[in-house]
Chain A
Amino acid sequence: MNALEVNQLSVSIDGKRILNEFSLSLPKGEVHAIMGPNGTGKSTLAKALAGHESYMVESGTATMDGKNILDLEVDEISREGLFLAFQYPIEIPGVTIANFIRAALNARQPEGEDIDAVAYYKELYAQMERLGIDKKFTSRSVNEGFSGGEKKRCEILQMAMLKPAYCILDETDSGLDIDALKIVADGVNHMRSEDRGILVITHYQRLLNYIVPDRVHILWDGRIVKSGDKSLALEVEERGYDWIKERLTAGVES
């Protein structure tokens, strides 16, 4: 029950099937990593779970702590506790980071009640400091003109402020220099908790040296074809994906 459970989920875009009876169980308290070649459906999984309307769910289920999320609206899924750190964060001209995160927090308050502004800024500044984001960013427009690394840090900032039950980090490590990678990993590790499940999508084993996963899954053609512990990531790093592909075509089950 205390898990993000995806069962036999098939998702298509424009009639093209991307996720193919995909299943995954992410219990609270654990960190899982998903790796896989370009275009195999990692971001599709993230966006479909977040409720993006372009992604057609054809069959299967997805529940969070037992609650079906496939019928919910995008904003409802978020308020239920799912957070998606975007692979490509969106620029919102004219909306400041401070107002944006505040609106997201207010959306979680009872109708007509707003969060306390003083406490809000106190926490915002503290989290920004932890993530090495300059205070000046609060009054900048969301992601507008941010460097790649700044955008990724800002995703983690939002996650830290919203404290979701389940987090999906879609290539949060790409575009980060080594110092930023450590800071972001530190930010994620700080959020590891018994009450939270974290799914890290990445291409690089390097990240997993800093965020050590409980499980590693390999996604191929819209489904998980191999799972293992953190050593699986090392193996992928060394041997690439071809050996998995070869084993798959040879009909060997993992």
Chain B
Amino acid sequence: MTVNKKSEFLSEAMFDHFLERHTELPKWLVRQKKKSWAEYLDLPAPTRKMESWRFANVRDLGVDGFRLADPVRELDANSLIEQTKSIQQTAGKLVFGNDDILAEEPISAELRSKGVLFEPLQRAFTDHSEILEEFFMAQESALGSEKFTALHTALNRNGTLLFIPKNVEIELPIISHYWAQGQQTAVFPHTLVIARDNSKVTFVDVYRSAEVDAAQLACGVSTVYADPGAKVEYHYIQNWNEDSLSFNRLTTIAQRDANIRAYGLNLGSKHARSEGHTVLDGPGSKAELYSLAVAHANQEIDQRTLQSHNAPNARSDLLFKNALQNESKTIFSGLIKVAEEAQLTDAYQTNRNLLLSPTAEANSLPGLEILANDVRCSHGATTGQIDENELFYLLSRGISKPTAETLLVFGFFEEVLGKMSNDELAEFHRERVHRKFEPA
């Protein structure tokens, strides 16, 4: 039995308690945290009137009832580690439980000798402070989650640093699994990927809960830097349990001729807020942004995106697909912003929603803001139901209705899943989606 001291709840009194508990944090970070905590207290809570929270059920977003996480018990830790083994071919893996490191599969000695760093932040804050002081939380929020980002900065104490030096190419994916365990537990996962010039890497964030029915708060930030010529593929799989509240902010920054591919999969949380800001900072850079979501019961999946074109000749391509069942709700709000100097931009944005129930609600808010005059941009959103003829065809082969619907959802998702170059990762996405369609 854990006794929840009042000071562990995410209330004003808690922060000092947090600092007392984590004396391992370096001074520069503590300073940053104090500043962020003050900001967090200062910033207004989201209201529906704010453009960046339009359509969101802001009443779901209170964090007061959540508390700082207890360490995961060893017995549970073993089971969580066991459950991270479905992707076998990896170049490295970290497993976190309640923000503590549970297991490490380090990268090879060869990669280390080339200067690749793959470290839990808890160590990296001290051992590689020169990198962290420059890059940790260096990006501003652009999509409305300033308050939650400040909370993250204040209370984060672990996560992943992946640093790939110039010209180093890593073929197999590197993975971080973040677990949350326990009633009312709050976790603050963080991923920082820095891919130097002409390097190449695939990185995967997996977010999951140990229990199916414990309300948890996950407030995470991920940042990916792709320096000139770098090729980065980034996956995030949001699969917290369906009692949870989650925030995730992803920023990807592409320099000259860099190439970023991001794949998101949103399955979990009672209320998930996911923000993705892609910055095309260098000429010739390219970003492909894909996301799949399955919402059911009364889940709300709220995704906001921004494609910032700051340099000429860059391209960004976004495709977000949502399948909705029952009374669930999705929000997609996407903006393409093209700066005056970003001539010859190619920027596209598509949101497609598949309604599997008449009571589900898909909201779509596409937008363009273009200051350059020589660009190709388009945005589009569609919301539709399962095609009756397709369904009849499947049923007429003896396939049951639920299976037929699942097949059609997979057919709908295949446009994204089929693009993944790593079969094991694609299979992992598929398997997680399949789980969601299995009767509880």
Contact assessment for A75 and B390 in the assembled complex, using a CB-CB cutoff below 8 Å: no
Q: Find out whether the CB atom of A78 lies under 8 angstroms from the CB atom of B411.
A: no
Q: Which of A74, A99, A104, A158 is close to B392, meaning CB atoms less than 8 Å apart? A: A74
Query: Which of the residues B389, B399, B414 comes within 8 Å of A90, measured between beta carbons?
Result: B389
Contacts of A100 in B (CB 8 A): 394, 397, 407
* A92-B411, A94-B410, A94-B411 known; A74+B400 contact, CB < 8 A: no
A17 within 8 A of B: no
Q: What does the 1/0 interface line of B373-401 toward A look like (CB < 8 Å)?
A: 00000000000000001101111111111
Chain A: interface residue total (CB-CB under 8 A) = 29
Are A95 and B407 within 8 A (Cβ)? yes
The answer on a CB contact under 8 Å between B395 and A99 is no
Q: Does A212 contact B (CB under 8 A)?
A: no
The size bracket of the interface on B is 20 to 34
- For the complex, give the distance between the alpha carbons of A156 and B411 in Å: 22
Is the CB–CB distance between B410 and A78 below 8 Å?
no
Residues from 168 to 195 in B contacting A, C-beta threshold 8 Å: none
Taking CB atoms, residues of chain B closer than 8 Å to A75 are 395-401, 404
The B-contacting residues of A in range 53-96, CB under 8 angstroms, are: 73-75, 77-79, 84, 86, 89-95
Q: Is the Cβ of B407 less than 8 Å from the Cβ of A99?
A: yes
Interface membership of B12, Cβ < 8 A: no
- Residues in chain A near residue B413, CB distance under 8 A: 94
Tell whether B412 is near chain A: CB-to-CB under 8 Å.
Answer: yes
Q: Which residues of A contact B410 (CB under 8 A)?
A: 94-95
Contact B392 A103, beta carbon cutoff 8 Å = no
Partner of A93, one of B394, B396, B397, B414: B414
Q: Which residues of B contact A79 (CB under 8 A)?
A: 398
Near B by CB (< 8 A), chain A positions 112-157 give 141-142
Contact in complex: A162, B390 (CB < 8 Å) = no
Asked whether A94 and B395 contact (CB < 8 A) given A75-B401, A103-B407, the answer is: no
Cross-interface CB contact of B396 among A78, A94, A103, A108, cutoff 8 Å: A78
* B427 contacts chain A at the CB level, 8 A cutoff: no
Query: Shortest CB–CB separation between residue B21 and chain A, in angstroms?
Result: 47
Known A-B contacts A94-B410, A94-B411; the reply to A103 vs B389 at CB < 8 A is no
Once the chains are docked, how many angstroms separate the CA of A142 from the CA of B394?
A: 10
Within the complex, the shortest CB–CB distance from A76 to chain B, in Å, comes to 8
Q: Does A50 reach chain B (CB closer than 8 Å)?
A: yes
A52 touches B392 (CB 8 A): yes
Query: What residue in chain A is nearest B407 (Cβ atoms)?
Result: A95
Report B265 CB to chain A, min CB distance, Å: 16
Quick check: A78 and B393 within 8 Å, CB to CB? no
Q: Which 4 pairs of residues, A with B, have the shortest CB-CB distance?
A: A94-B411, A94-B414, A78-B398, A74-B395
Selected A-B contacts with CB under 8 Å, 22 pairs: A73-B395, A74-B392, A74-B396, A75-B395, A75-B396, A75-B400, A75-B404, A77-B396, A78-B395, A78-B398, A79-B398, A86-B396, A92-B407, A95-B407, A100-B397, A100-B407, A103-B407, A104-B397, A107-B397, A107-B399, A108-B398, A141-B411
Which B residues have a C-beta under 8 Å from some C-beta of A?
A: 389-390, 392-401, 403-404, 407-408, 410-415, 418
A interface with B by C-beta (< 8 Å): 50-52, 73-75, 77-79, 84, 86, 89-95, 99-101, 103-104, 107-108, 141-142, 158, 162
